[in-house]
Structure 1
Amino acid sequence: MRQGWRTSIVALSIGAVVMPSAWGEEAGLELNQAVQMAQSRDPWLSGSQYTQDALEAEATAAGTLPDPMISLTAANLPTDTFDTGQEPMTQFSVGITQMFPRGDSLELMEKQKEQLGQQHPFLRQDRKAKVAATVSQLWLEAYKSQQTIALIERDMDLFEQLVDVTQVNYSSALGKARQQDVIRAQLELTRLDDRLTSLNQQMEASRQQLSEWIGDAAIAQPLAGELPELALAMPEFTQASTRLSRQEAGQALVHHPAVQALDRKIEAVKTGVDLAYQKYWPEWSVTAKYGYRADDPMGNDRAALFTAGVAFDLPIFTEKKQDKEVVAAVAKAESIKTDKSLLLRNMLAKLEKSKVQLIRLNERMSLYSNQLLPQLDEQAEASLEAYNNDDGDFAEAVRAYIDELDAKIEFLNIAVERQKLIATINYYLEGIE
C-alpha cells in the first residue's frame, strides 16, 4: 500500500520546479494592455492639456496693451438754465486714454505665461510614467495572488490524494499508517484551503484597486498567465560599479520629465523677478480729448477745443513696496530651486535603493532556480522514500512537500517583486535616451 501511495505522489509531483513563464497559459488581460487602458482613461491628462491651452491663451492676452478708455463729458453746464449756448465754457467732449504698462512688463508677462504652459508636456509625460508604474504594481500584485492560487490548486490534488491514501492505509489491516498521519494529512489540506481563501481575498482587493484605473476589465477578465519580462530602461544600471551607476543615474534624473517641468517653473519664477524690477519704472498714460461748444447767444460759432496730455506715476518711495516685491520674488525663485534639489535627492535615493534590491533579487532568483528548488524536490522524494521504507516519519514527508510548495510560491514572489522593482526603476529613468 505504501509503495502505491509513493507512486501516486511522485507522479503528481513531476514538474515541481516551474519557471515563472510556465505558470498558466490562459489568455487574459496583459500588463501592457492594462497600462495603455489606464493612460487612455486618465482624466488628469485631459485636464493638463486644457490648462496648457488656457495658459497659452493667457500669454497672448498678457502681452497685449490694455484696452483704451473712452470718456464722454458734458462740462461746465450753467445750473440756472442748463442752456448749452449760454456760457462760453460749456462743452461736450469725447476723449481717449491709452495706458502703457511699466517698462517691459507686457513682454515679461507673456513670457512667464508661456513658460508656465511649457511645464505641461513634461507634466503629462511624468503622469503617464507614474500611471504606468502604479498600474504595473497593481497588476503584478493581482498576478501574484492569481498564480499563487494556481500553484496551490495544482498541489491540492497531491494532498487530497495523500488524505485518501492515508485513510485507506489506516483502515486496512495491512496498512501501517497511524491515526495521527490521517489527521496530519487532513490538517495540511485544511491549511491549504485557508491559504486559498486568503489569497482570493488579496486578489479581489488588488483587482478592485486596479479597476480604479482601467474599469470593469480588471474584475471581469482574468490576468494573463505569463509573467511579463519588463525591460530595464538602462540595462547597465545594475551591472556597473556603484559609483559609476550613481553618476549615470544622477545624469538621467536631470532629464526626468518631473525635473524638466520644475525647470520650466523655475524659469517662470525667474521671469517674475524681472517683472518685479519693472515696478521701478513709471506707468504711462496718454490722453487726447475733443471738446465741442455750441453757438453763443448771438448765434456766433465757437471754436471746438482739443486737449492732449501725458500722465505717469513716480515710484520714488520704493523701500516698502518695490524693494520688498523684488526681495519676495528672489526668495520665491530660490525656494523653487531648493524644491528641485530636494526632488533630485529624493529620486536618486529611491533609485539607488531600488537598484540594490534588484541586484539582490536577481541573486535570489538564481539561487532558487539553480539550487534551492531542485534540492527541495530531491528532499521531498527522499523523505517519501524513507517513509515508504519505514525509515522516516510521515510528518517529515508531508513537511518536505509543504516546504517545496512554499519555495515555489516564494520563487513566484521574488519574480513578481523583481518586475515591480523594474517598473519603479523605469519610472525614475523616464526621459533617458
Structure 2
Amino acid sequence: MSLLEAVKQAETQAPNIDARQAALTSAERAVTPAGQLPDPQLVVGIDNLPVTTNDAFHLNRDFMTMRKVGVMQTFTRGEKRELRTQRAEAMAAREGALLTTERLTTREAVARAWVMRAAAERRLDLLQSLRSRAEAQVAAATAALTAGRGSAADGIAARAEQAMLEDRISEAERAVAETRAEFVRWLPDASNQPLGDAPDFRSLGADPDTLIHNVAHHRELLAYDAAEKAATTDVALARAEKRPDWSLEFAYAQRAPQFSNMISIEARIDLPLFGSKRQDPNIASKQALVDQIADEREAARRMHAAELQKTLATWRSTVERVQRYEKELLPLADDRADAALAAYRGGSGSLQASLSALDNAIEQRLAYTDLMSTLGQSWAALYFAFPKEH
C-alpha cells in the first residue's frame, strides 16, 4: 500500500469526515427554511364571557359573548428574510470549508502514520542487515584468540557489541509495532498489509516559495471567510430589527342564535421605540464579533505563515542531508566497517577499531532513518496544507 493509496482509503473510512459531512448536510438543509415566513397561528378563544350576575359563565345570554376562531400571520420584512437566507448560506459555506479542512487534516495524519511506520520498518531492516557484520566480528575475535593473536577480552567485547545490536533490533521491533498500531487507527484492515513505494519526498508538486504567498488559502484559514460573512450578515440583521415587522389576524366570532355573528380583522406592528437600549447595543455586539473574527484570522494567518516557513526550512535542509547520507555517509560508514574488520582479520588492525566502525555504521543508519521520517513528515505537512487548487 503506497502512501497516497493509504490516504485515499483512510479518507473513505474516517468517522470524523463523516461527522463533518453530516454537519454540512444539516447546514445546507437549513438554507431554504431560513428565508420563509413564520408559520401561521390558529386563534381560538371566547371573548366577553360574563363572570358575575345570573349570566355568569353562560355562552348565549349576553350579546357580547363570542366564540372565536381565526388565523394570524406574521409578515417578516423581505429584507430580513433575505438576510437570514444569506446567513444560512454562509454557515453552509463555513461547514463546507470545515469539511475540506478535516479532509486535509486527515490526509496529513494518515501520511504521517504511513511515514512513521515506513521509517520504523526501514530502521529495523537496516539494523538487521548489520547482524552479519557483528557475527563476523565475533568469528574474527574467536579465530584471533585461537591463533594466539587476540585475548579473551576481545571475544567478550565482540559478543557485547553483538548483544547491543540485538538490543537495538528489539527496540526497533517495538517501534514497528507501535507505528503499526497508529496506522491501524486510520486503516483497521491494513495492520499486516506491506507498505508500497513512498512518493518523491523531494518534490512538493509546486514551487515551494509559492506556499508562503498562498498562506491565505491554508486549510486552517478556509472557514474564516464564511464565518466573517455570517457575522457581517448578523450586523445587517441587527440593524434591520429597527424596521418593524407586522402581523395580520382574521377571526370569525359566533354569538348566541338571537345575535348576529361577526368577523374581525386586526393588524399588529412592532414598535422599536427603545433602540438605544435594545437594537443599538445588539448592533454593536454583532459588529464586535466581526472585528473579533478578523483579528483571529490575522493571528492565525501569521501563525501558519511562520509554521510554513519553519516546515519549509526543515524540508529543504532534510532533502540535502538525506542526499548526503545516501551518496556519502552511509557508503563511507559501511566501507569503514568492512575495512576495519578486514584489517583486524589480517592482523594489522585492532578489534576496538572494528567495533568503533560498526558502532558508527549503526549510528549512521539510525540517523538516516530519522532523517527520512523528518523528511516525510515535513513533506506531508506542506503537501496537505492547501486544497488542490492552491
TM-score, normalising length: structure 1 = 0.83
**Aligned pair 1:32/2:4, yes or no?**
yes
**Aligned pair 1:76/2:48, yes or no?**
yes
Partners of 2:219 and 2:333 lie apart in 1 by: 47
Partners of 2:228 and 2:235 lie apart in 1 by: 11
Whether the aligned pair in 2 keeps the contact of 1:68 and 1:97 (CA below 8 Å) is yes
Q: 1:368 to 1:155 in 2, by over 3 A?
A: same
Q: Note the C-alpha offset of 1:292.
A: 2.7
Partners of 1:231 and 1:42 lie apart in 2 by: 28
2:309 counterpart (352, 361, 367) = 352
**Aligned pair 1:106/2:106, yes or no?**
no
**Aligned pair 1:52/2:52, yes or no?**
no
Give the aligned partner of residue 112 of structure 2.
137
Give the aligned partner of residue 182 of structure 2.
209
**Matched position secondary structure for 2:242:** coil
Partners of 2:205 and 2:297 lie apart in 1 by: 23
Q: Note the C-alpha offset of 1:348.
A: 1.0
Whether the aligned pair in 2 keeps the contact of 1:386 and 1:392 (CA below 8 Å) is yes
Whether the aligned pair in 2 keeps the contact of 1:232 and 1:426 (CA below 8 Å) is no
**Matched position secondary structure for 1:217:** coil
Partners of 1:151 and 1:84 lie apart in 2 by: 99
Partners of 1:176 and 1:291 lie apart in 2 by: 124
Whether the aligned pair in 2 keeps the contact of 1:185 and 1:398 (CA below 8 Å) is yes
**Aligned pair 1:86/2:69, yes or no?**
no
Which digits, 9 at most, give the CA deviation of each residue in 1:340-398, with x for residues without a partner? 11221111111110111111112212322333233333433443344345432211022
Whether the aligned pair in 2 keeps the contact of 1:255 and 1:432 (CA below 8 Å) is no
Q: 1:331 to 1:258 in 2, by over 3 A?
A: same
Q: Which moved more, 1:319-328 or 1:152-161?
A: 152-161
Q: Note the C-alpha offset of 1:405.
A: 3.2
**Aligned pair 1:406/2:377, yes or no?**
no
1:22-421 to structure 2, matched below 5 A, reads 29-78=1-50, 80-81=54-55, 84-101=59-76, 104-170=79-145, 172=146, 174-218=147-191, 220-224=192-196, 226-230=197-201, 232-237=203-208, 245=209, 248-296=210-258, 302-421=259-378
Which digits, 9 at most, give the CA deviation of each residue in 1:146-205, with x for residues without a partner? 1111111121122123213322331x2x34122121111101100011101111112211
Partners of 2:324 and 2:139 lie apart in 1 by: 35
Q: 1:177 to 1:88 in 2, by over 3 A?
A: same
Q: Give the total of aligned pairs.
A: 387
Q: Note the C-alpha offset of 1:281.
A: 1.5
Q: Which runs of 5+ in 2 are unaligned?
A: none
Read off the aligned partner of 2:244 and give its amino acid letter.
P
Identity, in percent, stands at 24
Whether the aligned pair in 2 keeps the contact of 1:101 and 1:284 (CA below 8 Å) is yes
Partners of 2:265 and 2:108 lie apart in 1 by: 66
Which digits, 9 at most, give the CA deviation of each residue in 1:203-254, with x for residues without a partner? 2112212222211422x33434x444247444431xxxxxxx2xx3344222
Q: Note the C-alpha offset of 1:102.
A: 5.3
Partners of 2:332 and 2:46 lie apart in 1 by: 105
Q: 1:74 to 1:415 in 2, by over 3 A?
A: closer
**Matched position secondary structure for 2:243:** coil
**Matched position secondary structure for 2:158:** helix
Whether the aligned pair in 2 keeps the contact of 1:256 and 1:431 (CA below 8 Å) is no
**Matched position secondary structure for 2:71:** strand
**Matched position secondary structure for 1:97:** strand
Read off the aligned partner of 1:207 and give its amino acid letter.
R
Whether the aligned pair in 2 keeps the contact of 1:102 and 1:279 (CA below 8 Å) is no
Q: 1:250 to 1:399 in 2, by over 3 A?
A: closer
**Matched position secondary structure for 1:391:** coil
Partners of 1:307 and 1:231 lie apart in 2 by: 80
**Matched position secondary structure for 1:320:** coil
Partners of 2:28 and 2:198 lie apart in 1 by: 44
Read off the aligned partner of 1:396 and give its amino acid letter.
A
Read off the aligned partner of 1:125 and give its amino acid letter.
T
**Matched position secondary structure for 1:428:** coil
Whether the aligned pair in 1 keeps the contact of 2:101 and 2:222 (CA below 8 Å) is no
Whether the aligned pair in 1 keeps the contact of 2:40 and 2:72 (CA below 8 Å) is yes
